Chain A
Amino acid sequence: MYTGPENSYLKQPRGLKSWLLTLDHKRIGVMYLTAIMFFFLVGGLLAVLMRVELSSPARDVVSAELYNRLFTLHGAIMIFMFIIPSIPAAIGNFVLPLMIGAKDVAFPRLNLASWYIYVVGSLIAVASILQGGVDTGWTFYTPYSTSTNSAVITLTFGAFVLGFSSIFTGLNFIVTIHKMRAPGMTWFKMPLMVWGLYATAIIQVLATPVLGITLVLLIFERLFGIGIFDPAMGGDPVLYQHFFWFYSHPAVYIMILPGMAIISELIATFSHKRIFGYKAIAFSSLGIALVSFLVWGHHMFTSGQSELAAMIFSFLTFLVGIPSGIKIFNWVATMYRGSISLKTPMLYAIAFLLLFTIGGLTGIFLGTLAVDVHLHDTYFIVAHFHYVMMGGTVMALLGGIHYWWPKMWGKMYNETWGRITAVLVFVGFNVAFFTQFIMGSQGMPRRYYSYPDQFAFLHEVSSVGAYILGFGFLIMVIYLIHSLYRGKPAARNPWGALTMEWEAASPPTTHNFDKDMKLEHGPYDFDRVEVEDEEMVKA
């Protein structure tokens, strides 16, 4: 299928076995990318199915029970199988060693193991469909999750296994960043992508084990009735929520931090300007990682936790706004008076800036105790987290995929179609989800398959937005796959970027670089380094 240079990592060595047993971080990254994109497709189709059901107040295509199973599976697939591994394990795996001038991650075998564990965990989780699905929502709240007779154990065990894959990736990245940097690359000469991945990895290793033990406790509660979450036996269902959100709130930052990491690269490269406030952006990543562990209780304002805890968590939640705001302002300041080229990745970066700001600010609404009582469990929160997760992380992921596509495959995609799609995705997304803010503030509860007639118009509009979004993704799949066969060969450095991965061939050879790498200029020294012209190609 693929035609490219003979000595690239894609061609050497040959054969299916050489892929399945590969220790090359680039191949593992590509394998991750394939797997997560498959699950993104599955999760997306489930979402479209839900939007079809919701396009009118009546029961259209699915029953109430099936609808419960749909949103549970949509949530679980999108969170555990798509968005958590998406940027770190797929894009990060590919670019991190290249960006720091290393030959590979520190533990290549662990890296491969993490991919296999991911696949096995995903298969276990998906097997829950064969047992009739799960109807608890992706959060598996007790006491319902311990009393429903749907396949909770299978799905949670799948998530438990997936946790190990996430831990292995995080562990690998921490060690790689600490120990494998090329000579001359001090901490403050690392690309900001690396800082973002570092902060992500810290959260992954600190939070994920707690999810592991939580899901084990849940499974034991179901199997053996150990009584920890069962009020009839002196236990406490709210304790489950503490355990779950101690992981799952930081997990939200596992999802967004790498997105922010990509945005730093895109904004600097396509503004052709030294990034504004390098250290502020770097430290705000670590700040977000730290604060992420102190705010989980804001998911539990209406669950019966103590008022003291609720006030502390609400107060701490506002702190998240500070580092996030620092990043946004620094990116905007970088663009100011930059020489901006609106290539496809930059369009996604700008979409990120707009959408993430909306998502972040509505998060402040929800973190406010009294307002949350009104808004909790409505479409407002659905819209909020889709603005952060999809408007934030997925936009960044798409930007990243387009940005590193030439490096990954050695081929250029069609720029015109790329731009058209970016606009379609942006419009479709806003139509689908901004309407949900309005519905939510009017009291439309989440997780209902039917609703009063007053919401009919907005739901219909939201569904149309989802179809536009789906259509956009369809075009993207077509032109990206087309580029693999018919795309123009990519230059070594098609965007004129200054980070180290662009010094490798496109696509890189198996050992990444032809020489031992050494830092010669900072990642954003656009003011003093001239990118050679023959490296640039016109799109």
Chain B
Amino acid sequence: MSSESLSTRPAHLQHHFADTYQQGDAARLGMWVFLLTEILLFGGLFCFYAIYRSWYPDMFINAHRHLNVWLGGTNTVVLITSSVTMALAIRSAQLGKRREAVYNLVATLLLAAVFLIIKYFEYEHKIHLGQLPGKFYTFQGIAGSNPHVFFSVYFLMTGLHGLHVIGGMGVIAWMIQRTRRGEFSPEYYTPLELTGLYWHLVDLIWIFLFPLLYLIG
């Protein structure tokens, strides 16, 4: 282990690591393990979805027609684009282009906001119609048994995903701040990289939620 002497240790290197590479590797592995826990957290809801869809296939088809494919599709496009800008932000940081990195991060943040605004209109429409989970379901006009279950699934899955988008926006805003302060360099941009991993996972989950909820039949 090449122990860097105290004088040459960069400011971002914590005392218990031998060098920057060890610290970066540890952080990346930690992030991947965290993403694993996120996948299994959503996993419970995917299991919920799979079982009820297999029990009530016709109801799921009838109920999903009340979701707006165009809004869902637009949101998919928005989130994928935000993933691209996130990836580009990290690339800019790798090249040491600070201003470009900030622009890309701001674009990511704005796209995330657009996603939430569209989601808000979708939710508002459903709340207005009474297409709500469980006991709050008052809508008439979906054939099949227990249509409220579909909306339980819908609101739980998109709700948990939405919370992750909001959390991600907070982190991205923080990263914009840190990038502007010039904390990152081609040698050290680990926090940015980890934010990217998280944001891509949020995108990845939506990539599955979209067809499972909006494109059933």
Which residues does A use to contact B, with CB under 8 Å? 102-104, 106-108, 110, 167, 170-172, 174-176, 178-180, 182-183, 205-210, 212-214, 217, 220-221, 224-228, 233-236, 239, 243, 511, 516
- Please state if B136 and A224 are interface contacts (CB–CB under 8 Å): yes
A68 to B26, CA, bound (A): 46
A171 to B136, CA, bound (A): 39
A31 to B128, CA, bound (A): 51
Contacts of A220 in B (CB 8 A): 156
- Please state if B44 and A214 are interface contacts (CB–CB under 8 Å): yes
Least Cβ–Cβ distance between B170 and chain A, in angstroms: 17
- B149's contact among A180, A206, A228, by CB below 8 Å, is which? A228
Q: 1/0 contact trace for B1-41 toward A, CB 8 Å?
A: 10100000000001110000010011001100110111011
A235 to B48, CA, bound (A): 10
Which residue on B lies nearest to A110, using beta carbons? B30
Which residue on A lies nearest to B151, using beta carbons? A226
User: Chain A binding site: helix, strand, loop or mixed by DSSP?
Assistant: helix
- Please state if A226 and B134 are interface contacts (CB–CB under 8 Å): yes
- Please state if A226 and B152 are interface contacts (CB–CB under 8 Å): yes
Least Cβ–Cβ distance between B161 and chain A, in angstroms: 13
A456 to B170, CA, bound (A): 62
Which residue on A lies nearest to B36, using beta carbons? A205
- Please state if B40 and A104 are interface contacts (CB–CB under 8 Å): no
Least Cβ–Cβ distance between B144 and chain A, in angstroms: 10
Least Cβ–Cβ distance between A74 and chain B, in angstroms: 27
B150-193 CB contacts (< 8 Å) to partner A: 152, 156
Contacts of B95 in A (CB 8 A): none
A179 to B156, CA, bound (A): 37
B31-74 CB contacts (< 8 Å) to partner A: 33-34, 36-38, 40-45, 47-48, 51-52, 55-56
Least Cβ–Cβ distance between A356 and chain B, in angstroms: 29
- Please state if A209 and B29 are interface contacts (CB–CB under 8 Å): no
- Please state if B149 and A233 are interface contacts (CB–CB under 8 Å): yes
Least Cβ–Cβ distance between B32 and chain A, in angstroms: 9
Which residue on B lies nearest to A183, using beta carbons? B1
Task: From known contacts A233-B148, A233-B149, A239-B51, infer whether A103 and B36 are also in contact, taking CB-CB under 8 Å.
Answer: no
Q: Which of A209, A210, A220 has the most CB of B within 10 A?
A: A209
- Please state if A225 and B33 are interface contacts (CB–CB under 8 Å): no
Task: From known contacts A102-B16, A227-B133, A233-B134, infer whether A209 and B30 are also in contact, taking CB-CB under 8 Å.
Answer: no
- Please state if A175 and B33 are interface contacts (CB–CB under 8 Å): yes
- Please state if B135 and A212 are interface contacts (CB–CB under 8 Å): no
The 8 A-B pairs at the shortest CB distance, nearest first, are namely A234-B146, A213-B44, A225-B135, A103-B16, A226-B134, A104-B16, A209-B41, A209-B40
A336 to B35, CA, bound (A): 45
- Please state if A210 and B26 are interface contacts (CB–CB under 8 Å): no
Which residue on A lies nearest to B39, using beta carbons? A209
A106 to B143, CA, bound (A): 54
Number of residues of chain B lying within 8 A (CB) of chain A? 37
Q: Is B145 an interface residue (CB 8 A)?
A: yes
A178 to B30, CA, bound (A): 10
A208 to B34, CA, bound (A): 12
A179 to B27, CA, bound (A): 10
Contacts of B47 in A (CB 8 A): 243
- Please state if A213 and B45 are interface contacts (CB–CB under 8 Å): yes
A516 to B15, CA, bound (A): 13
A104 to B187, CA, bound (A): 24
A106 to B25, CA, bound (A): 10
- Please state if A227 and B37 are interface contacts (CB–CB under 8 Å): no
- Please state if A106 and B145 are interface contacts (CB–CB under 8 Å): no
Contacts of B51 in A (CB 8 A): 236, 239
Contacts of A108 in B (CB 8 A): 14, 16
Contacts of A511 in B (CB 8 A): 15
Task: From known contacts A227-B134, A227-B146, A228-B149, infer whether A179 and B26 are also in contact, taking CB-CB under 8 Å.
Answer: yes
Contacts of B36 in A (CB 8 A): 205-206
- Please state if B40 and A106 are interface contacts (CB–CB under 8 Å): no
- B29's contact among A178, A183, A227, A236, by CB below 8 Å, is which? A178
- A227's contact among B42, B45, B148, by CB below 8 Å, is which? B148
A207 to B149, CA, bound (A): 25
Contacts of B44 in A (CB 8 A): 209-210, 212-214, 217, 243
- A210's contact among B22, B25, B43, B146, by CB below 8 Å, is which? B43
Least Cβ–Cβ distance between A225 and chain B, in angstroms: 4
- Please state if A179 and B152 are interface contacts (CB–CB under 8 Å): no
Contacts of A178 in B (CB 8 A): 26, 29
Contacts of B156 in A (CB 8 A): 217, 220, 226
Task: From known contacts A106-B26, A214-B44, A217-B44, infer whether A171 and B33 are also in contact, taking CB-CB under 8 Å.
Answer: yes
- Please state if B41 and A210 are interface contacts (CB–CB under 8 Å): yes
Other CB < 8 Å A-B pairs besides A108-B14, A226-B156, 6 of them? A106-B30, A175-B29, A178-B26, A220-B156, A234-B56, A235-B149
A228 to B16, CA, bound (A): 47
Least Cβ–Cβ distance between B138 and chain A, in angstroms: 13
- Please state if A224 and B38 are interface contacts (CB–CB under 8 Å): no
- Please state if B48 and A228 are interface contacts (CB–CB under 8 Å): yes
Least Cβ–Cβ distance between A348 and chain B, in angstroms: 32
Contacts of A516 in B (CB 8 A): 1, 3
A178 to B27, CA, bound (A): 11
Contacts of A172 in B (CB 8 A): 30
A104 to B22, CA, bound (A): 13
Task: From known contacts A103-B16, A108-B16, A243-B44, infer whether A171 and B135 are also in contact, taking CB-CB under 8 Å.
Answer: no
Least Cβ–Cβ distance between B106 and chain A, in angstroms: 28
Contacts of B29 in A (CB 8 A): 174-175, 178-179
Contacts of A180 in B (CB 8 A): 16, 22, 26
- B15's contact among A103, A167, A183, by CB below 8 Å, is which? A103
Listed A/B pairs (13) with beta-carbon separation below 8 Å: A106-B26, A170-B33, A179-B29, A180-B16, A207-B40, A212-B44, A224-B133, A225-B135, A225-B136, A227-B134, A234-B146, A235-B149, A239-B51
A106 to B15, CA, bound (A): 11
Contacts of A221 in B (CB 8 A): 134
Contacts of B3 in A (CB 8 A): 516
- Please state if A217 and B48 are interface contacts (CB–CB under 8 Å): yes
Contacts of A234 in B (CB 8 A): 55-56, 145-146, 148-149
A170 to B40, CA, bound (A): 15
Q: Which of A108, A178, A234 has the most CB of B within 10 A?
A: A234
Least Cβ–Cβ distance between A222 and chain B, in angstroms: 11
Which residue on B lies nearest to A182, using beta carbons? B1
A172 to B27, CA, bound (A): 10
A167 to B35, CA, bound (A): 12
- Please state if B134 and A224 are interface contacts (CB–CB under 8 Å): yes
A228 to B50, CA, bound (A): 13
